[in-house]
């Protein structure tokens, strides 16, 4: 073979070896970067975990970091550990097969950054995450479910457009955090949103803009009230199937609830006192309605007329008044039969039917029909109006005046005359009609109290009010239905320093057959009774309040002075009594001590002789000879001329048995030897002085 051919083969061989080497390097790098193992592709299940095919169970292991994982892992369970953010390895983001991670109940302070981009479901609840950065969420473009319950996320800690790079996010749980408003920039694909147990108090109109796919919304346990919810807030959620507003401060259901697809509506544990007629209209797919734990006493006729699919009605914990006002509901429940489950329709008033179920009041409801047919009417509450035989329809209530309605309706009843803005109403706080006298009185800058009296019994009243402005065109009439037993009503949330025309017309119940009773129709001959009033100016109201407050302070000063003086006198008397008692006690103790000291001084001469031989005293210098002891001479006695000498007095000590120390030679007993006289007769002096 020619040398040229051999050179070409050699070059081709080297080129082939070079290509194979480069290909091997590329494969090794791809494998290392995909699995994050750096050439260690044979990692098995971690020893502290349990593996079941692609599921890695490392929960409740006390881990502080995630151990190396096999490349085939798809679902990771690391909940209930002590993993913090440094415990998330960098290699975790290279496990591209992982789709679900459970990291709840750990010690994470920040949203994790080292997560695989293939993640579809992430559980981070019960940590201490405070901030939701867009950069961290942008690493999870396939994320569909995000659980962030029980963290410390606030509204301001969610970055603008934080979810802009998560177009597939369908479920977002932010329960039990520190949110004060609805997060903005939520993805349009969101189907379920939980914001319960936060601090949300206001929902503006644009809060749910673009969330047409939302099906389940939970807002339980917040600070929501009707005045802070925009009228069109929920109307944008056209596909909503479940709405929960439990444990808020609602007085009526929010306006314009979505009705086309709504299946479950939860309004329990609020402060609802009134269900406006029409608030549940067009909810033909509603299956479950919960009104438990409110202040409802009655329901307006026709409230459930469109609830064709309703199968569960919960109304526990309401003070139901089972009078003729609920006759329509009794008939509706009877017509439904076993197709609906009702819980909690237990009567509280009147006393005759207390603790009875509404469905069991067939005989009492028949009395309402007889009363209506006989023209007696249904009596309501005040002052001895006529009722049927057992006074079943009587209504007595102790509830405070209800608040003004928060819904605005256009009148559709031709028989109801409305106030004309073009008329020149005189500023009068009262109005008198054929059967009704109306009186209105402003209470504050945004509230008006309405009271009235009627000449004959009526089933209910229609109350309407209109704020007068500069325009002569007819505005919206705000109206509400008031029960026939009430004689006062409180309008709230009005405009300060404004003029209002307030009108009322009684509604009567025509007699007829049981099936043709028409409750709540307006008598065509009845003319509305109107009155005009003005709300006060907040500035003047504040000034009046300040004056009243200062007056109260001035009137309370004498009382405070009297009470303070009495307390001071009692305190001084108590201190003086304690001082006198202490001085008296101290005087008695001093006299007792003086008496004991003087007594001891008088008897000391005899006590020294008695105790010197029986009581041990280390301060006494004793001579070892029997019957003698030496004690230092008192300082008050004159000393001998020799200053260096120490003087001692030698006392004779009586033996303990009373016998003398000296015995005569003939051993004869002498009773005189037991006393000093015996010692003298024996030649022993009482006191001798010894000098050393």
With 0-12 CB in 10 A as exposed, 13-18 as middle and 19+ as buried, what is 371? buried
> Does 152 lie in the same domain as 50?
yes
Cβ atoms < 10 Å from Cβ of 13: 10
> Does 221 lie in the same domain as 173?
no
> Does 223 lie in the same domain as 295?
yes
Among 306, 286, 579, 273, smallest CA distance to 400 is for 273
- Most confident segment among 264-273, 639-648, 664-673: 264-273
What is the per-residue pLDDT for 444?
82
Sign for the CA dihedral angle at 484, 490, 492, 494 comes to positive
pLDDT category of residue 579 using cuts at 50, 70 and 90: confident
Q: Which of 252-261, 336-345, 525-534 has the lowest mean pLDDT?
A: 525-534
How far is it, in rounded angstroms, from Cα 549 to Cα 556? Answer: 10
Give me 241's structure tokens.
């199937």
Q: Which of 154-163, 350-359, 579-588 has the lowest mean pLDDT?
A: 579-588
- Most confident segment among 409-418, 471-480, 683-692: 471-480
Alpha carbon 165 to its chain centroid, in Å, reads 36
Helix (H) or strand (E) holding 214: none
Domain end call among 131, 152, 178: 178
Of 552 and 497, which is predicted with more confidence? 497
Q: DSSP state, 154?
A: B
> Does 117 lie in the same domain as 51?
yes
Residue 284 scores a pLDDT above 60 = yes
Of 603 and 49, which is predicted with more confidence? 49
Among 264, 267, 345, smallest CA distance to 307 is for 264
Give me 221's structure tokens.
């346990």
pLDDT category of residue 683 using cuts at 50, 70 and 90: low
The DSSP string of 217-273 is EE-TTS---GGGB-TTTTTT-TT--EEE--SS--SSPPSS---SS--EEE--SS---
Of 536 and 313, which is predicted with more confidence? 313
> Does 343 lie in the same domain as 248?
yes
> Does 452 lie in the same domain as 353?
no
Check residue 280 and give left, alpha or beta (phi > 0: left; psi -120 to 50: alpha). alpha
Taking CB atoms within 8 Å and a gap of at least 24, the contacts of 652-657 are 652/627, 652/628, 652/679, 652/684, 652/686, 653/609, 653/612, 653/613, 653/627, 653/628, 653/629, 654/609, 654/613, 655/613, 655/627, 656/613, 656/614
> Does 354 lie in the same domain as 258?
yes
Q: Mind listing the pLDDT tens digit for each residue in 291-307? A: 999 999 999 998 999 99
> Does 240 lie in the same domain as 119?
no
> Does 271 lie in the same domain as 341?
yes
How far is it, in rounded angstroms, from Cα 669 to Cα 253? Answer: 124
pLDDT category of residue 370 using cuts at 50, 70 and 90: low
- For position 317, which CATH number holds? 3.80.10.10
In 512-567, beta strands by DSSP E: 518-522, 529-534
> Does 286 lie in the same domain as 172?
no
- Look at residue 441 and tell me if it is in a domain: yes
* Mean pLDDT, the chain, integer: 75
What is the per-residue pLDDT for 27?
66
HEC letters along 552-597: HHHHHHHHHHHHHHHHHHHHHHHHHHHHHHHHHHHHHHHHHHHHHH
8 Å CB contact between 462 and 507: yes
Residue 515 scores a pLDDT above 80 = no
- Look at residue 261 and tell me if it is in a domain: yes
Place of tokens 């006392």: 651
8 Å CB contact between 98 and 73: yes
How far is it, in rounded angstroms, from Cα 240 to Cα 226? Answer: 20
pLDDT category of residue 461 using cuts at 50, 70 and 90: confident
Residue 530 scores a pLDDT above 50 = yes
8 Å CB contact between 679 and 662: yes
* 513 CB-near residues (< 8 Å, 6+ apart): none
Task: Count the domains in the chain.
Answer: 3
Q: Per the omega criterion (within 30 degrees of 0), is the bond before 519 cis? A: no
High-pLDDT (> 90) share of the chain, % = 34
How far is it, in rounded angstroms, from Cα 316 to Cα 297? Answer: 12
Among 116, 21, 11, smallest CA distance to 74 is for 116
Of 320 and 459, which is predicted with more confidence? 320
pLDDT category of residue 393 using cuts at 50, 70 and 90: very low
Q: Mind listing the pLDDT tens digit for each residue in 96-147? A: 899 999 999 999 999 999 999 999 999 999 999 999 999 999 999 999 999 9
Give me 319's structure tokens.
């003070």
Residue 617 scores a pLDDT above 90 = no
Residue 319 scores a pLDDT above 90 = yes
Among 149, 231, 159, 255, smallest CA distance to 198 is for 149
How far is it, in rounded angstroms, from Cα 268 to Cα 289? Answer: 9
> Does 228 lie in the same domain as 163?
no
Of 83 and 619, which is predicted with more confidence? 83
* 171 CB-near residues (< 8 Å, 6+ apart): 144, 145, 146, 147, 190, 191, 192
- Look at residue 233 and tell me if it is in a domain: yes
Of 266 and 690, which is predicted with more confidence? 266
8 Å CB contact between 488 and 400: no
Domain end call among 346, 365, 384: 365
Helices (H), 429-528: none
Q: Which of 418-422, 465-469, 561-565, 581-585 has the lowest mean pLDDT?
A: 418-422
What is the per-residue pLDDT for 131?
94
Among 160, 114, 99, 109, smallest CA distance to 130 is for 109
8 Å CB contact between 113 and 87: no
- For position 449, which CATH number holds? 2.60.40.10
Residue 407 scores a pLDDT above 50 = no
How far is it, in rounded angstroms, from Cα 206 to Cα 193? Answer: 16
Q: Mind listing the pLDDT tens digit for each residue in 12-62? A: 776 777 777 767 766 655 554 444 444 344 568 888 899 988 899 999 999
Give me 522's structure tokens.
């307006």
Residue range of the domain that includes 298: 217-365
> Does 247 lie in the same domain as 360?
yes
* Strand bridging mode 478-483 / 499-510: unpaired
How far is it, in rounded angstroms, from Cα 680 to Cα 667? Answer: 18
How far is it, in rounded angstroms, from Cα 280 to Cα 575? Answer: 72
- Look at residue 339 and tell me if it is in a domain: yes
Q: Which of 214-228, 420-434, 481-495 has the lowest mean pLDDT?
A: 420-434
- Look at residue 30 and tell me if it is in a domain: no
Residue 554 scores a pLDDT above 80 = no
- Look at residue 493 and tell me if it is in a domain: yes
- Residues 361-388 have a mean pLDDT of 54
- Look at residue 449 and tell me if it is in a domain: yes
- Look at residue 251 and tell me if it is in a domain: yes
Maximum C-alpha span of the chain: 169
Domain end call among 313, 331, 365: 365
């Amino acid at each position: 073979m020619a040398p040229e051919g051999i050179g070409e083969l050699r070059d081709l061989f080297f080129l082939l070896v070079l290509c194979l080497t480069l290909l091997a390097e590329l494969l090794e790098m791809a494998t290392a970067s995909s699995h994050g193992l750096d050439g260690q592709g044979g990692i098995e299940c971690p020893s502290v975990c349990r593996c079941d095919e692609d599921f890695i169970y490392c929960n409740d292991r006390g881990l502080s970091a995630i151990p190396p994982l096999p490349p085939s892992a798809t679902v990771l369970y690391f909940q209930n550990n002590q993993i913090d953010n440094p415990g998330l390895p960098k290699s975790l983001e290279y496990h591209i097969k992982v789709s679900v991670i459970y990291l709840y109940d750990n010690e994470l302070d920040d949203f994790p950054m080292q997560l695989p981009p293939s993640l579809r479901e992430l559980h981070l609840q019960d940590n201490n995450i405070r901030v939701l950065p867009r950069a961290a969420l942008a690493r999870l473009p396939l994320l569909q479910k995000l659980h962030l319950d029980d963290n410390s996320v606030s509204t301001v800690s969610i970055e603008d457009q934080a979810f802009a790079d998560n177009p597939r996010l369908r479920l977002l749980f932010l329960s039990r955090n520190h949110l004060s408003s609805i997060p903005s920039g939520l993805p349009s694909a969101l189907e379920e949103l939980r914001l319960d147990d936060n601090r949300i108090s206001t929902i503006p109109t644009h809060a749910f803009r673009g969330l047409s796919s939302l099906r389940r919304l939970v807002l339980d346990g917040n600070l929501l009230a009707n005045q802070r919810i925009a009228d069109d807030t929920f109307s944008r959620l056209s596909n909503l199937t479940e709405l929960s507003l439990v444990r808020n401060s609602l007085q009526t259901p929010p306006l314009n609830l979505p009705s086309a697809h709504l299946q479950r509506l939860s309004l329990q544990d609020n402060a609802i006192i009134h269900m406006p007629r029409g608030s549940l209209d067009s909810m033909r797919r509603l299956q479950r309605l919960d009104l438990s734990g409110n202040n409802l006493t009655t329901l307006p006729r026709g409230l459930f007329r469109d609830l064709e699919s309703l199968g569960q009605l919960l109304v526990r914990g309401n003070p139901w008044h089972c009078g003729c006002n609920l006759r329509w509901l009794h008939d509706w429940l009877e017509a439904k039969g076993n197709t609906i489950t009702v819980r909690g329709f237990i009567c509280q008033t009147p006393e005759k039917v207390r603790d009875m179920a509404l469905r069991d009041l067939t005989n009492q409801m028949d009395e309402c029909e007889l009363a209506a047919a006989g023209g007696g009417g249904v009596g309501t509450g005040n002052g001895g109006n006529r009722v049927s035989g057992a006074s079943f329809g009587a209504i007595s209530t102790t509830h405070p005046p209800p608040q003004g309605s928060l819904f605005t309706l256009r009148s559709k009843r031709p028989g109801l005359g409305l106030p004309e803005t073009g008329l020149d109403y005189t500023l009068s706080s009262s109005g008198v009609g054929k059967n009704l006298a109306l009186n209105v009185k402003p209470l504050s800058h945004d509230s008006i109290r309405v009271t009235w009296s009627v000449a004959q019994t009526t089933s209910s009243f229609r109350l309407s009010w209109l704020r007068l402005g500069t325009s002569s065109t007819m505005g919206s009439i705000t109206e509400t239905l008031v029960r026939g037993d009430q004689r006062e009503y409180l309008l709230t949330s009005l405009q300060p320093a404004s003029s209002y025309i307030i009108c009322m017309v009684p509604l009567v119940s025509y007699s007829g057959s049981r099936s043709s009773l028409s409750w709540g129709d307006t008598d065509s001959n009845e003319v509305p009774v109107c009155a005009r009033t003005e709300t006060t100016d907040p500035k003047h109201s504040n000034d009046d309040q300040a004056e009243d407050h200062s007056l109260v302070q001035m009137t309370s000063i004498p009382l405070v002075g009297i009470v303070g003086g009495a307390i001071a006198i009692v305190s001084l008397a108590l201190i003086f009594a304690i001082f006198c008692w202490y001085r008296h006690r101290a005087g008695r103790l001093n006299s007792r001590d003086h008496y004991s000291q003087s007594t001891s001084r008088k008897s000391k001469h005899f006590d020294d002789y008695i105790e010197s031989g029986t009581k041990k005293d280390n301060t006494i210098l004793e001579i070892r000879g029997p019957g003698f002891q030496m004690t230092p001479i008192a300082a008050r006695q004159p000393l001998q001329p020799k200053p260096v000498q120490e003087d001692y007095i030698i006392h004779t000590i009586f033996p303990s048995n009373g016998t003398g120390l000296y015995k005569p030679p003939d051993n004869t007993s002498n009773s005189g030897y037991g006393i000093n006289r015996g010692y003298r007769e024996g030649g022993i002096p009482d006191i001798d002085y010894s000098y050393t």
